[in-house]
Amino acid sequence: MKQILLLGAGRSSVYLIDYLIEQAPSLNWRITIADLQTHHLQKQVEQFPFVLLVDFNIHIQEQLTVQVGQADLIISLLPAAFHLVVAQTCLDLGKHFLTASYVSPEIKALHEAAQQKGLLFLMEAGLDPGMDHMSALAAIAKIKHKGGELLAFKSYTGGLVAPESDTNPWHYKISWNPRNVVLAGQGTARFLQNKAPKYIPYPQLFRRTEKIEIIGLGELEGYANRDSLSYREAYGLESIATLIRGTLRWPGFCAAWRQLIQLGLTDDSYTLLHSGGRTYAQWLESYLPASSENLPLLTRLANYLNLPENSAEMEALQFLGLLENELINLENVTPAQILEQRLIQKLPLQPTDKDLVVMQHEFKYKLGNENRRLKSALVVIGQNATYTAMAKTVGLPLGMAARFILQNKNFLTGVHIPTHPEIYEPILAELKKLGILFTEQEELL
């Protein structure tokens, strides 16, 4: 009997939990799900005697040690800040570790120690990062196998709202961690274009977008992710001329978001004085220049941003309630945390709303005397606000990876991301059986 410990039972866990429960009887698994509160899962799991719910505090090391000690493999859906302490505990107790989050330098430093203990710490095994690696590497391997020379690679992914549920001027609703939405893109984006390194500082990031035509869906906007350059080695593309990884949004989002950046509302580097007793209008007012003119706040905001009052960007800002006389009721917080609260309040997925996950790779390569372009696109639509496309595409690869690790004795060891064929090939094959597959389109250039 194998014991799986799932740490974290938030919005991305539903498909993962269902998958583990479905596999458990035939594979003789027992599953423990641990989080601060697990009562919301009671109905989902009560008919399965092999599932145990545990209320658990990651800050209490003794609780973590007990739970990890009883398991063979640990899957963490906790916030990324907690992964290191979980990974270290797994290393100390000799347990495999699996997560959808980016591999940090601190966890990467555990590679040799994990190898010595015969353990696999598999990071970046969800959607993005995760399925992006797996699908891109599969396509790259196919191109190289037929003798193609890679010239350019662009990869964009977005967690969006489905068109039928798009009911606001942001053309966006929250389907994943709202804090990550607020902090997305902060820092300087780095990528490679025509063999030259390119950099986009955060204040310019949402201005320098690219139009991306998605197979079967239409035109979206993409902006560059923080660091594309590190994927040259990971993807075996050291000699490629162009390499860009980015994020997708429906048209209009980026233009509105850059107004929030210009105002300073995405800043997470300082806390505000007496924020709890101030209104959103007062908070916004504090970022505008002093004026002796008795103009409405809307007019002053539009003048400051150099926008017409009836522009799409101004409509989006008003929709977030930033000009309302409503108390913030958050004390000792950053601007980014106030904005996060407003996104949660104003851009939630309603119970019957559907989200949308879109991923598209574009490869330019040379085969003989021909230049070719290959597009490979994934489009997944959610069922509702619980069973989302985001939860599906994050959770199912994690569950499948857990199964393959527990079924294979001669697996990779050390700290890895899913760029190895022995990891990504069976996962992509199983995802395809469940209807999560990429559509390809190829043309001569």
Q: How far apart are CA 437 and CA 392, in angstroms?
A: 13
The answer on 99 and 6 residing in a single domain is: yes
| Band (44; pLDDT cuts 50, 70, 90) | confident
For position 129, what pLDDT does the model report? 92
The answer on 229 and 290 residing in a single domain is: no
For position 409, what pLDDT does the model report? 67
Query: Is a pLDDT exceeding 80 seen at residue 411?
Result: no
The domain spanning residue 231 has which CATH number?
Answer: 3.30.360.10
Q: Which of 149-163, 182-196, 243-257, 389-403 has the lowest mean pLDDT?
A: 182-196
Has residue 410 been placed in a domain? no
194-215 pLDDT, tens digit each = 999 999 999 999 999 999 999 9
For position 410, what pLDDT does the model report? 63
Has residue 340 been placed in a domain? no
Q: For residue 290, what are the domain limits?
A: 271-333
The answer on 75 and 7 residing in a single domain is: yes
Q: Which of 52-56, 197-201, 245-249, 405-409 has the lowest mean pLDDT?
A: 405-409
| Band (248; pLDDT cuts 50, 70, 90) | very high
The answer on 104 and 29 residing in a single domain is: yes
The answer on 44 and 159 residing in a single domain is: no
Has residue 407 been placed in a domain? no
Task: Give me the number of domains the chain comprises.
Answer: 3
The answer on 7 and 105 residing in a single domain is: yes
User: What mean pLDDT comes out for the span 374-403?
Assistant: 96
The answer on 316 and 174 residing in a single domain is: no
* Mean pLDDT estimate for the chain: 94
- Angle of CA points 397, 418, 77, to nearest 5°: 50
Has residue 416 been placed in a domain? no
Q: b/e for 396-422, b at 16 or more Cβ within 10 A?
A: bbbbbbbbbbbeeeebbbbbbbbbeee
Q: How far apart are CA 404 and CA 426, in angstroms?
A: 8
The answer on 36 and 175 residing in a single domain is: no
3-state class of 358 per DSSP?
Answer: strand
The answer on 119 and 15 residing in a single domain is: yes
Q: What is the dihedral of CA 414, 142, 134, 107, to 10 degrees?
A: 30
Query: Is a pLDDT exceeding 70 seen at residue 241?
Result: yes
